[in-house]
């Protein structure tokens, strides 16, 4: 019964977006509002998917994105974890998370709303509990989503700070629900999920197909079959590489750690191997990435 009401509310959101948005979307900033914790959303943009959006490619973003399914169904793959989503479901994607979407309906039946934003200090630790979890917006969340849509449309009704507080309330409410879920009994995981969770918790250490198989008392071939059967397009090696890249980007952008130490912390045997892998994935070197981010943030000192 509750789920049905949520789905009706999602339909209203879809209609509201159409009524209030034409042309280029606006961006809203927090304006220096303080909070009781070290997290303040900025540069909030609300948009809806188009019929021409390519859903087959693996994506990576530098912003946080709250994605709400408005219609249809899909299978989201995030960090090797498969998350089935349907109308009314929501997920929070973090910067530099690799994710892909496999539609489970006709393309013209699928649409989603995206609330994209950054954090002033690029500090997302307060909301890490939301990472890789299927979320369901409640009644208050729906109300706040409507506020964000109205404020970012062609006829804004609310000041920018109202947008910030509405988004914060959504994030805090979802974090509370996830933490309550995690504090209860965990559901039995299948072998593929256990393998992926182990990799997510140990990717900074030396890992091989054999060492991963030994942890679970299975053969390397069984590990390969589990990843192939999951249909994510990932291998254990690809998942490890992507997680290491995410950590490397965070260290490059938010710390003064040397490139050599970042290579070691991310599980690479030396700086050369790390730099080669980083350049292959990002199309530029780790040092270039750090310089670009420091230039963007107005910093002068460069750390190598």
pLDDT at 81 over 90: no
pLDDT at 29 over 70: no
The mean pLDDT of 26-32, rounded to a whole number, is 53
DSSP 128-168: GGGTT--B---HHHHHHHHHHHHHHSSS--S-HHHHHHHHH
* pLDDT given for residue 179 in this prediction: 84
pLDDT at 262 over 70: yes
Task: Give the residue from 155, 183, 211 where a domain finishes.
Answer: 183
pLDDT, greater one: 206 or 156: 206
The pLDDT tens digits of the residues spanning 169-203 come to 999 999 999 888 776 544 446 888 889 889 988 99
pLDDT at 47 over 70: yes
Domain CATH for 275: 1.10.10.60
Residue 52 domain-assigned (yes or no): yes
Residue 304 domain-assigned (yes or no): no
Counting the structural domains of the chain, the total is 2
Note whether 71 and 115 are same-domain residues: yes
Task: Give the residue from 148, 183, 218 where a domain finishes.
Answer: 183
Task: Pick the closest to residue 164 from 189, 176, 142, 147 (CA basis).
Answer: 147
Note whether 219 and 85 are same-domain residues: no
Note whether 134 and 204 are same-domain residues: no
Note whether 87 and 139 are same-domain residues: yes
> Residue 155 — very low, low, confident or very high, per pLDDT cuts 50/70/90?
low
Note whether 218 and 161 are same-domain residues: no
Name the pTM for this structure: 0.64
The mean pLDDT of 43-57, rounded to a whole number, is 79
* pLDDT given for residue 250 in this prediction: 87
| Domain span holding position 219 | 191-296
> Residue 233 — very low, low, confident or very high, per pLDDT cuts 50/70/90?
confident
* pLDDT given for residue 9 in this prediction: 81
* pLDDT given for residue 2 in this prediction: 41
- Asked if residue 90 lies in contact with residue 7, where contact means CB atoms within 8 angstroms, the answer is no
Q: What is the mean pLDDT of the chain?
A: 83
Task: Give the residue from 183, 199, 229 where a domain finishes.
Answer: 183
Note whether 10 and 65 are same-domain residues: yes
Note whether 227 and 82 are same-domain residues: no
DSSP the chain: -HHHHHHHHHHHHHHHHHHH--SSPP-B---S---SSS--EEEEEEEE--TT---SS-B--SSEEEEEEEESEEEEEETTEEEEEETT-EEEEPTT--EEEEESS-GGG-EEEEEEEEETT---GGGGGGTT--B---HHHHHHHHHHHHHHSSS--S-HHHHHHHHHHHHHHHHHHHHHHHHSPPPPPPHHHHHHHHHHHHTTS---HHHHHHHHT--HHHHHHHHHHHTSS--HHHHHHHHHHHHHHHHHHH----HHHHHHHTT-SSHHHHHHHHHHHHSS-HHHHHHHHHHHTT------
The pLDDT tens digits of the residues spanning 96-113 come to 888 889 999 998 899 999
* pLDDT given for residue 188 in this prediction: 47
The mean pLDDT of 204-233, rounded to a whole number, is 89
Residue 195 domain-assigned (yes or no): yes
> Residue 42 — very low, low, confident or very high, per pLDDT cuts 50/70/90?
confident
* pLDDT given for residue 20 in this prediction: 80
Domain CATH for 73: 2.60.120.280
Note whether 138 and 32 are same-domain residues: yes
Note whether 25 and 156 are same-domain residues: yes
Q: Which of 32-36, 69-73, 93-97, 281-285 is the most confident on average? A: 69-73
Whole-Å CA distances, 9 to 12, 138, 147 = 5, 10, 13
* pLDDT given for residue 220 in this prediction: 92
Note whether 213 and 276 are same-domain residues: yes
Residue 281 domain-assigned (yes or no): yes
> What is the C-alpha R_g of the chain?
20
Note whether 175 and 235 are same-domain residues: no
Which tokens hold the place of 172? Answer: 């805090």
Residue 248 domain-assigned (yes or no): yes
- Strand pairing class (81-86; 41-48): unpaired
Task: Pick the closest to residue 156 from 164, 165, 147 (CA basis).
Answer: 147
């Amino acid at each position: 019964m509750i789920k049905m009401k949520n789905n009706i509310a999602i339909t209203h959101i879809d209609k509201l977006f159409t009524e209030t948005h034409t042309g280029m979307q606006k961006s809203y900033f927090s304006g220096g509002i303080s909070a009781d914790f070290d997290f303040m959303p900025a540069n909030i943009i609300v948009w809806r998917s188009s019929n021409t959006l390519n859903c087959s490619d693996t994506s990576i973003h530098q912003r946080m994105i709250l994605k709400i399914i408005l219609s249809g169904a899909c299978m989201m793959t995030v960090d090797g974890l498969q998350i089935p989503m349907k109308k009314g479901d929501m997920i929070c994607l973090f910067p530099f998370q690799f994710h892909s979407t496999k539609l489970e309906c006709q393309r013209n039946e699928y649409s989603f709303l995206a609330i994209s934003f950054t954090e002033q200090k690029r500090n997302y630790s307060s909301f890490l509990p939301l990472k890789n979890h299927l979320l369901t917006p409640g009644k208050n969340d729906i109300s706040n989503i409507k506020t964000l849509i109205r404020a970012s449309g062609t006829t804004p009704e609310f000041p920018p700070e109202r947008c910030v507080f509405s988004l914060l309330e959504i994030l805090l409410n979802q974090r509370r629900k996830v933490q309550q879920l995690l504090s209860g009994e965990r559901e039995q995981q299948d072998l593929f999920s256990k393998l992926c969770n182990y990799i997510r918790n140990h990717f900074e250490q030396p890992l091989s197909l054999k060492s991963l198989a030994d942890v679970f008392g299975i053969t390397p071939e069984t590990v390969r079959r589990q990843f192939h059967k999951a249909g994510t397009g990932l291998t254990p090696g690809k998942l490890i590489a992507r997680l290491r890249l995410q950590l490397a980007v965070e260290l490059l952008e938010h710390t003064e750690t040397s490139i050599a130490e970042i290579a070691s912390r991310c599980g690479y045997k030396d700086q050369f191997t790390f730099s080669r892998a980083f350049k292959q994935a990002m199309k530029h070197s780790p040092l270039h990435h750090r310089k670009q981010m420091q230039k963007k943030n107005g910093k002068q000192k460069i750390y190598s």
